[in-house]
Structure 1
């Protein structure tokens, strides 16, 4: 199938793009990677009257590691940074391993070479890995118009399946992923019917240890179990436990009991809940092991 007719715009600067979006209003769609938008247009699931191609906005093709306003560390990803750019960026990988851990599950290398991380977030697919990563880290998305800008936290950005809070005339210019403080390990696990397919269930985990190797915090985020990314704390189950004695299986059951996945043609809700419990325990165990190794590295460096 082919898309219905549309007017094509190819701005050269961010200001030009914002001007076009202001002029054409809600009848426009922004084209960056196009790995979700173009198939939807071809299937007539999306029929914008105007297509605004931002691929010439080279100023937005960046991955930057730096210091946040609160003094912590962060990874900022521009709107034209491809998934592969983020996945392969050595500074981002060193600062925030969870990005690369999750990105390797995004579709196939060909799609990661073209698709953009910010575009994936705006698409707001509840099966998309980066939506859960942003939510788990408490990140945000910057939205700009020709006259203003606003920064929206992940908890408010995703409002429903395939629906973000971006308004007509707004361009998502960057996403910010905060680096967790302290001795924090991370992990991502998911199950799909075939390699590269959307996950039947996916789990990202963060585990933080205190100075003596006990669990100080543990959080998980899920894809494919609800209309928006689901984030849960399991600290009540494992907090203050020595990392090598924490009951991650119990934490998995605790989390799964709080999810309400629906059934579809790919899996029943009960099967998704079962997967959530198993994958949660697996991801938490791996994240805690990585946090312990990080702790050992820090202690070695201080001697």
Structure 2
């Protein structure tokens, strides 16, 4: 029951958010609503990942994985502070824009590391992935194509600017590469979910995958809609950022599901995963 609730609740909250936004009369009000929804979703993502990480003993593989996920969610919350600083503010001699780019790049690297560890959790526990080789190739190829379609153009643009001498774009290049890697990691995480199906631990991995897919939809919407202003309050902006809120909420739900799934029969003595029939 708790797992089904965790699956449904993010969707219900985003639908409620969309409903409330239709009642607001002007773009400015909608932009403010979405800003608070995003920051609240990120904060919940931090809390969910920490709840999962702290359920494991120090040194456990999954404690490190969920710890990286918590770091990722915390770092992308940086706009709650940086974006509220007055224009022209410098921190240690660097502009707010430079700090923002650096923090985002670091966040993306933490997110990729977390996704990589989650994708390898099944093998780390000593089990072979039951998926046939053909399925692995098919799913992996599809993820790679998606990564190239949605991240290739922004990456090429960032690299071109960097080669032209705009060295500030190096953080954008790092972020674009990290986004591409994160998209390609949807495949192995999904295969892990399929390997765990029928077991309790399929729930947290499934919600983690849902979060990754929502981030992909957010990136795709950004590319297709071309929404430049993060505070525009247009309906395109609301639609695009609803995916971001949903991604954060599913990240929170995944962490809470991981914690709920843990009980002595489900963990090995050393804290590694064991398959659980449910």
- Where on the TM-score scale, by shorter chain, does this alignment land: which range? under 0.3
Structure with more of its chain in helix, by fraction: 2
Structure with more of its chain in strand, by fraction: 1
- TM-score normalised by length of structure 2: 0.28
